[in-house]
Amino acid sequence: MGPMFDVRGQVVVITGGSGVLGSALAQGLAQAGARVAILGRRLEAGQRVAEAIIANGGEAVAVAADVHARAALAAAAAVVAARLGPVDLLVNAAGGNDPRATVSADQSFFDLDAAGINEVMGSNFAGTLAACQVWGREMAARGQGNIINIASMAALRPLTRVGVYGATKAAVVNFTQWLAVHLAQEYSPAIRVNAIAPGFFLTEQNRFLLTDAATGELTARGQAIIAHTPQRRFGTPDDLVGTLLWLASPASAFVTGIVIPVDGGFAAFGGV
C-alpha cells in the first residue's frame, strides 16, 4: 500500500481481540505492519491469536483484561506501554449478545434476565466507554490518537428479538459521535474517533439465532437476513479489514465522528 494507507509501526490495542471478529481485525492490522496488543478475558485465547500473528511474521502480545473492570484495563495499559510503547490506535471489538437478554418463543421481553441485560450493556457500551477513558487519556496527553469502535447494524436499524443488544450498540454510535467532537475540541484535532457497523456475521454470540444447532441449516431468521441482504451472504471477518485499515491510516485523516456500515447492502434495501 502507498504511504496514505501505511499503518506500519502503529501500536494498536484491540479489546475482544481473541473473538471471531476481533482476531481477524488483529491479524489484518498485523499483516499490514502494525504492532498489536490483543486484549481478552482469557489469556490463553489471546495467546493463540498472538502466536498465529507471530508465526506469520507479525508482532503481537496478548494481555488478559475484562472490559467490565476499568482497573483491569488500566493494568493492561501499563503492560502494553511497557512492551510496545504509546498506543496509536484503540479498536473496541469487545462485546456481543446473550441469550438471557434476547426475546424468544420461550422468553418474553417482560421476562428478560437482569443479569443478561447487564452483561450485554457492560460488554458493548460500558466496556467501550471504559477503554476509551483509559487509552483516550493517554491520547489526550499526547495530542494525537485514533479510536475505532465496533458498532452493529442493529444500532442503525432496530431488529426483532435483540432490543437490548441493539440499544447498547446504538449507544456506541451516539458515544462515538460525541467523543469525536469532545476530544477534537477539548484536547486535539489530531485525535479521531469513528465506528464500523458490521452487518450480519456469524459469531459465537449470534449463531444460536441464525443457524439450527442440530442441523447447521439457517433458521427462519437467518433466511430472512439473507433475503434482505443484496449480496446474498453473511459477512466474513476479513470483510471488515479493508475498512479498518482505511480508518487506521492517514488516508482518513479528515474523517472523524462517522459510522460506516459494512453490511452487503442490508441498510440500503427496503425489502422490495
Summarize pLDDT for 171-191 with one digit per residue, the tens: 999 999 999 999 999 999 999
Q: How far apart are CA 111 and CA 91, in angstroms?
A: 34
What is the sign, positive or negative, of the torsion defined by CA atoms of 27, 244, 188, 69? negative
So what's the pLDDT on residue 213? 81
DSSP string over 139-171: HHHHT-EEEEEE--HHHHS--TT-HHHHHHHHH
Count of H-run helices and E-run strands, the chain: 10, 7
- Mean pLDDT, all residues of the chain: 95
Burial of 39 (0-12, 13-18, 19+ CB in 10 A): buried
Whether 22 has a pLDDT exceeding 80, the answer reads: yes
Domain 3-199+235-261 in CATH 3.40.50.720 = yes
Q: Is 33 exposed, middle or buried (0-12, 13-18, 19+ CB in 10 A)?
A: middle
The single-letter code of the amino acid at 127 is G
Q: How confident is the model at residue 154 (pLDDT cuts 50, 70, 90)?
A: very high
Indicate whether 35 pLDDT > 70.
Answer: yes
Do residues 232 and 224 lie in contact, with contact meaning Cβ atoms separated by under 8 Å?
Answer: no
Mean pLDDT computed over 33-44: 97
SS3 percent helix, strand, coil of the chain, rounded to 5, is 50, 15, 35
Given this model, what pLDDT does residue 196 score? Answer: 98
Amino acid sitting at position 213: A
pLDDT of 202 above 90: no
Q: How confident is the model at residue 214 (pLDDT cuts 50, 70, 90)?
A: confident
Any idea what DSSP says for residue 219?
A: P
pLDDT digits (tens, 9 = 90+) for 65-104: 999 999 999 999 999 999 999 999 999 999 999 999 999 9
How confident is the model at residue 205, as a pLDDT? 66
At 209, the pLDDT band (50, 70, 90 cuts) reads confident
Q: Is 165 designated active site?
A: yes
pLDDT above 80: residue 34: yes
Domain boundaries, the chain: 3-199+235-261
Q: Encode pLDDT of 220-266 as tens digits.
A: 889 999 999 999 999 988 999 999 999 999 999 999 999 999 999 99
Residue type, 160: T
One DSSP character per residue, 214-253 reads TT-PBPHHHHHHHHT-TT-S-B-GGGGHHHHHHHHSGGGT
Region 28-39 average pLDDT: 98
Q: Can you tell me the distance from the alpha carbon of 80 to that of 59, in angstroms, rounded to the nearest whole number?
A: 13
165, 201, 234, 266: which is the annotated catalytic residue? Answer: 165
Give CA angle at 171 (237, 73), nearest 5°.
70
Q: What is the pLDDT of residue 203?
A: 75
**CB atoms inside a 10 Å sphere around CB 184:** 16
Distance spanning both ends of the chain, measured CA to CA: 39
Q: What is the per-residue pLDDT for 48?
A: 97
The whole-number pLDDT of residue 272 equals 84
Element (H, E) at 2: none
Asked whether the predicted pLDDT for residue 49 surpasses 80, the reply is yes
Residue 63 CA: distances (Å) to CA of 28, 231, 245, 265: 19, 37, 22, 36
Amino acid identity for residue 108 in this structure = S
* Cell reading at 112: 428478560
